[in-house]
Structure formats: C-alpha cells, structure tokens
Amino acid sequence: MDEHSIYMRQALELAIKGLGSTSPNPMVGAILVCDGSIIGQGYHQKFGEAHAEVGAIQTAFTHNPHTTDRLKRSTLYVTLEPCSHFGKTPPCADLIIQHQIPRVVVGCRDPFPQVNGKGIERLKNAGIDVIEGVLQDECQDLNKRFFTCVQKQRPYIILKWAQTGDGFFAPKDGSQKWITSTEAKQLVHRWRSEEDAVLVGKATALTDNPQLNVREWTGRNPKRIIIDKHLTLPKHLHLFDQSIETIVFNALKTTIDGNTKYIQLEDFDYLLPQHIAYQLYLMDIQSVIIEGGAQTLDLFIQADLWDEARIFTGPQTWGEGIKAPILPHHTTETIQVEADKLNFVYHH
C-alpha cells in the first residue's frame, strides 16, 4: 500500500467514529502529516460542531508550539473534499489556505451543490497541490447515506427482518414469536443507534408493541416512524409514550402532539413509499431502517426503493406462517451471529 493510501486509511478509521452523530452532515476524518510523522488528526464528531480539518489543525497546535512552521511543509489527508461555503462553521478550504498547508490529499469530492469541486478549486487557486481520488470507493461508501440523500433526495433505506430456517417471517395467527438470539437483538439495537430513524407498519406496531429504542446498546435513540392510514392504533402503545420523537404518516391530519408528529399524505395509497421517502428527506432524515412487517417491507421492495437489506435467519423451522419477503438477486455477504445467519444484501 502506498503512503497516501496508508494515511487515508487512518483518516477513514477516524471518520467512522462519527457514525450516528453527524447527520445530516457527512462523516469526515483528517490527518496532518509532516516529515513522515502524524502531527494532528481530527474527525467530525457531531452535527454543528468543528469539522475534521479544524480538529486536525487544533490538535497539531496543542501538541507542538512550533506548528505554524510545520504546517507550511505538511500534507493534509481528508476523506471528503474540504467545504468552501459558510454553514454552521466557516469554510475549511479557507482555513487550509490561511495556514499555508502546501498539499491536500482528498478521498472523494463532496456532491453537495454548494461544494462539489468548489473547495478543491479554491485550494488550487491558492497554489495548493491537490491530489484527488485516494481510496475513493471506500470514502464514498463511508458516506453512502449522505451521498444518497444529496443525489437522490431521499434517505438511505435499510431493510431488516428475521426469518426462520424455512423462510417464515411471523406466525399466521398474529401472535409474537421470537426467531433470533439475544446477540442478534443487541446488534439490531446498535444499528438503530447508527441511523436517523426506524420505521414500522401498523400491524407490527399493534402485534409487537415495540419500543424501537436502543435499550440494549449505548447510543442515541433514532426517530420512530409509523404508517397508520386511519390512525386506529391505541395510544397506550410504547410508540406513543412521548419518550422519543415519533412520526406518524396517515391519511387524516397533520398536527403535533408533544413529541408525536402526525403527517398527512395525500393520495395515501398512491406511491406511498416514494412519498414517505421524500418527506423524510425534507425533514433531514438521512437514513432509515425499515423493520417490518412483511407487508411494509414488501411495499418498499416492490417500489425498488431500498439500498441495503440485513436478514437474520434463525435455525428453527415452523412449517407454516407468513412468508418472509423475497429480494431480487444482488450482491450479498454472510456472517454468523451465534446460532443465526446474517445476510447483507446490497442493491446496485
């Protein structure tokens, strides 16, 4: 692996620490290198706070009083193109120019229209040597949520379900029956902490009475989203306990009741997944996990509106029940989680 790739890999490892905290901003990592040694590093830790480049420069000054001179012969590695516009923070491109850093190595360009090449152009116009495309695929994949939101005007959509070894999703009688291990449950709660929202249909809300929080993991709770066309779900359900921001898509009203937001969708039965996805985009929700039920999952599958699926298959067999959704063939990878098999399916 060449020198640029080695340092960019370290910047990627820093960036991923922001997963679940930076949305709707991207995750970004930055490494400052001078004379073959790392003198500063940083990552975007939380939405509205300092960007990765700022963190890298600040840590460099913290650890060495002679940083001003060292920056003038340093290389900055950053996973995403430095911003060139005023948002919640000043432009990082201007900060780099101010400190006279002579070389910047960029993983990939920022697709956000107010940046998209403008940051790189500003650096080059200031005489800075810019190298692009180092570990570009990995840098783009890191921010697949951000890229999807900017380029497709919808959140990154993850489908998640559990099925038996013979392909059943739930019992026919509407009862609740657990399929997977406690380790799988903990993993699901970790996933929730990494995404902006989790969505279920009316039947799942009624049958399972889920909390849709991260009680089995340490992290922030996602927003909860329910589809309830006629608003018939009883208010004693956990989803209406006001503990987490909850969005209810329906056909009757738009109103706010404490931490519960009701959003009316016109033509509720026409292009429902597309309308929901666009509404979430307008609310700066960058990613959503759809956890059921089978009908809701099928709704998004039939609309070809998903990016990734995470499917647990337990060892037990039922012989009958509600069949699990079926995905078209796509790229997959499989791991073992205790007694359960976990398939990751990626939509191209």
User: Is the distance from CB of 265 to CB of 251 less than 8 angstroms?
Assistant: yes
- Which position has the token pair 């929080």? 213
How many angstroms separate the Cα of 309 from the Cα of each of 187, 194, 342, 348? 14, 15, 10, 12
The yes-or-no answer on residue 338 being catalytic is no
Q: Which of 3, 13, 49, 53 is catalytic?
A: 53
How far is residue 294 from each of residues 111, 140, 147, 201, 300, measured CA to CA in Å?
Answer: 34, 31, 28, 9, 10
Q: Which of 74, 92, 106, 102 is nearest to 8 (CA)?
A: 106
H-run or E-run covering 11: helix 3-15
The 10 Å CB-count burial string (b at 16+, else e) for 272-297 is: bbebbbebbbebebbbbbbbbbbebb
Distance CA 101, CA 97 (A): 7
Alpha-carbon distance of 51 to 46, in angstroms, equals 9
Which amino acid is located at 329 in the chain? H
Looking only at Cα atoms, what is the longest distance across the chain? 72
Closest by CA position to 82, among listed 64, 61, 106: 106
Tokens of 101: 């850093």
* Alpha carbons 190 and 236: distance in angstroms, whole number: 26
Spatial separation of the C-alpha atoms in residues 28 and 207, rounded to whole Å: 40
Residue 57 has which token pair?
């420069």
What are the catalytic residues? 53
